[in-house]
Copies of this chain bind each other. A is one copy, B any other.
Amino acid sequence: MNIIAEQPRAKPRKGRKYDQVLDGAREVFLLSGFEGASVDDIARAAGVSKATLYSYFPDKRLMFTAMAERECSRQASAALQVIDMTAPPALVLRQTAGRLIRIILSDFSQRIFRVCVAESDRFPELGQAFYDSGPALGRARIADYLRQAKARGEVAIEDFELAADQFAELCKADLWARAVFGIQNRFSDEEIDRVIEGAVTTFLARYGMRD
């Protein structure tokens, strides 16, 4: 019906249910882990027959890695949050801390983290993929900003990577542990603000220029 030529659709590979399958795989794998997930469950969750599943993926392992890769790259784009490279550190850090905490406390991040950690020796590439798309990427962004801030004389830093890692770690303080061990899953603004303020203040106490 469309006069304009159909765009070739980036890699439908075989059929039209590819994403549907991966969605089902994500749901079950993130809930039960690799061994705990049964292929029948995945087919049911995907709303697809088992034969269709196996027409897309030769076996369960490849189903898992495909799903993990997709979720890691999604996480990567979520981590690519905009940083105003020209704003002063106190502002940028506070803002970045808030976003970072919101991410690491999210149900999604928790689940994919658990699976990646649990299966990282069954799937050696998996840990690397998560690391690259999450912590490493975030560190690079923060370090970039810190470099520019130093050029403006706003901070005094020698080891930018270490500083960026330290800031990210400061943002986790207790919150992350409580979440990942299932002790707490809702956090009040007060709890979060306490950690944010603590992280920013400590970080600037070390690296900030007294103005």
Contact = CB atoms under 8 A, between A and B. Distances in A.
Nearest to A35: B35
A30 to B, nearest CB: 11
A182 B114 contact: no
A203 interface: yes
A26 interface: no
Contacts of A182: 120-121, 124, 127-128
A178 to B, nearest CB: 7
Could you say how many copies of this chain the assembly holds?
Answer: 2
Contacts of A122: 36
A46 to B, nearest CB: 21
Interface residues of A, number: 47
A110 to B, nearest CB: 9
Contact of A118 (B114, B170, B183): B114
A201 B194 contact: no
A18 interface: no
Interface string A187-211: 0000000110011011101110000
A6 interface: no
Interface in A145-197: 159, 161-162, 165-166, 169-170, 172-174, 177-178, 180-183, 194-195
* Across the A-B interface, the 5 shortest Cβ-Cβ residue pairs: A127-B181, A118-B118, A205-B206, A35-B35, A169-B169
